[in-house]
Structure 1
Amino acid sequence: MDKIKNFDIVVNTCLADIESRSKKSDFDKNDFLLSVVNGFEDGKWREDLFRQFVMNNIAQTGLSADERENICTIDPYTQITRSIMNLRLVDCENGQGSEIAEIVLYGIMRYHYNALPVVPKIFYKQNSNDNAKGADSVHIVIDEDKMDFTLWLGEAKFFNDIIDERLYDPINSVFEALGTEKIKKENSIITNIKDLEYVINNPDIRKKVKEVLRHDVSIDEVKKRLHVPIMLLHECSITKGARELSPEYLEEIKHYHLNRAERFFMSHNNKQKKEGVYGFEKIMFHLILFPVPNKENIVNWFVKRANQIKQDA
């Protein structure tokens, strides 16, 4: 079984390639599912591995590239502390857990898609001018062989469940983010902050990124390169009741996540029929599902840990 660090990949497929109970035409060759699970030890879900993944990847979105490269490379604790200082989660009751989902998305983008974090969203969201409203993650994936790149604008949610009604929120967020001015604003942020200089080493590719993402370039050129990862970290009764990474558990998660992905993309594509977003068929959509046994416990740990670090800083 393939892995993302210590996590197991249960499903990694295009929805158009699976045997669906629904009409095949409801799914597009650009609809993808990535299902990822954590392991178990001594009959318990491995909270330690999940916590390590969160803390080890918080700097990907909590610090600028300058800080990651020049200030915090020697001292990991300083890196975590500075990242924590930029969180909004510990200061606001609304949307608790959303930043955890963002961090997990940045980690998965880093290790699975080899993506470069050109806009660390948590870092820029804490600034007073709040340039980072819009996508929850912004990455670029380099193709060295073709000397080209793809742009990844992500959404991240942490839900108590992923019943049908819950799926409308991320779908609406995705369509809002696909507006021409929304994408151009993200492009403007990418090209105007310094992070691009640090994360893309190849000057020719860096130049191409800046040229393609210029405000006066047609958004049609960008959509040819656009991917939208949709991270749904979610509480899961199947995971809560499991004691080991058994074949039965993996099969149950596979079946459940495929069902949820079918429902998601059916609603997603039905909305496109109403919205008629131009160039929609050129955009790649990646639904990423990650089940946890208890959302409240994870949020409480994160808030408590973040508060401790803030107080000690």
Structure 2
Amino acid sequence: MKKLYKRFSKLVFSFDDAEDVGGVDKHPYHLNYESGQYRENDLVKIIRGALPKFALTPEEYKKLVDDDDLDEIYRLAFSRISQAKKNMKGDYGELLLFLILKSFYGADRLVTKVRLRSSVKDQIKGFDCAHFGIDELGNVSLWLGEVKFYKSFSNAVTDIVEEIHQHVTGDYLKNEFSILCPNIEYNNNVEIPEEIIDYLDGTVTLDDVKIVIPALVTYESALLKKYSEVDEDFKEAIKEQFEDKFRTINRKKIEIPKNVEVFFILLPLNDVTSIKTKLEMFEEVYK
């Protein structure tokens, strides 16, 4: 699957030119262009291709690959995608966050949360992902993600900040940990640090649990239609837009415990509805 993440990192690019305007960290990204078109069709293809890795446990994935059962890989994976209406489900936003965290941050997954869905129309409860990260000094942190795969930036930021505030309370975190701990996936060829087990089983006081919340916000941007390549004009225009979005985030009062770090991931898109519709067409094939 390394090729998948390599393809993703050649489609989605970190934008480093926007100026820091203070507040929580903000990490902007954008797609590139091909033949004058913002590469959303290629994004759809990568999301579809990554679905089995996202929706199946490592054990399930390995068994089906060993059995050479490609059809069952996709049937089972799509069966775990919510059957809610496309504008009401966040599965593909969660998959997009899954790809970003692995491709750009090296964060590994602890639990396949879509497998824990209680009904086919239900949304994932709690945080939208459960990963872990290890920094260059060897410090271990629990990564609990939030996603809003929206058209409207302001609505996405308002909703995601509200959820962050709800989810960082002590009782909420302890309930989340009680669900995650028995579902940790040890068989994925990734060594799970002992610190993570201590975090989740209550060995370590909640005050000492290092938590990182990557908050992914997508939004539609009319600016993307005005360009056909990532040239200097595009870079200057997207820089101004990102800095405006940064200021919008800063106007929100994000109050978090001292052991929690939040950073925002921004990804402008041309047509969110079209992306979701195309993905829904693939779902229909496997129902």
Q: What CA distance in whole angstroms lies between the structure 1 residues aligned with 2:17 and 2:131? A: 20
1:170 equivalent among 148, 160, 185: 160
1:108 equivalent among 96, 100, 104: 100
Deviation of 1:289 (Å): 0.8
SS in 2 for 1:87: coil
1:202 aligned to 2:184? no
- Residue correspondences, number: 278
- Unaligned stretches of 5+ residues in structure 1: none
Shift in CA distance, 237/72, structure 1 to aligned 2, threshold 3 Å: same
Shift in CA distance, 66/132, structure 1 to aligned 2, threshold 3 Å: farther
Shift in CA distance, 229/268, structure 1 to aligned 2, threshold 3 Å: farther
CA displacement, residues 249-301 of structure 1 (integer Å, 9 cap, x when unaligned): 222222212221222133133xx2xxxx5xx2332211111111111111111
The answer to whether the 8 Å contact 1:60/1:107 transfers is no
**Residue in 2 that maps onto 1:4:** 9
- Unaligned stretches of 5+ residues in structure 2: 1-7
1:33 aligned to 2:26? yes
Amino acid in the other structure paired with 2:58 = A
User: RMSD between aligned alpha carbons?
Assistant: 2.7
Q: What CA distance in whole angstroms lies between the structure 2 residues aligned with 1:296 and 1:133? A: 23
How high is the TM-score relative to the length of structure 1? 0.79
1:93 aligned to 2:85? yes
CA displacement, residues 133-182 of structure 1 (integer Å, 9 cap, x when unaligned): 10011101135863x4211111111111213x542111001111111122
Q: What CA distance in whole angstroms lies between the structure 2 residues aligned with 1:265 and 1:166? A: 14
Shift in CA distance, 106/210, structure 1 to aligned 2, threshold 3 Å: same
SS in 2 for 1:259: helix
Q: What CA distance in whole angstroms lies between the structure 2 residues aligned with 1:109 and 1:208? A: 20
The answer to whether the 8 Å contact 2:129/2:144 transfers is yes
Q: What CA distance in whole angstroms lies between the structure 1 residues aligned with 2:72 and 2:55? A: 12
**Residue in 1 that maps onto 2:152:** 161
Segments of 4+ in structure 1 off by > 6 A? Answer: none
Amino acid in the other structure paired with 2:200 = L
Q: What CA distance in whole angstroms lies between the structure 2 residues aligned with 1:131 and 1:283? A: 24
Deviation of 1:77 (Å): 5.2
Identity over aligned residues, as a percent? 18
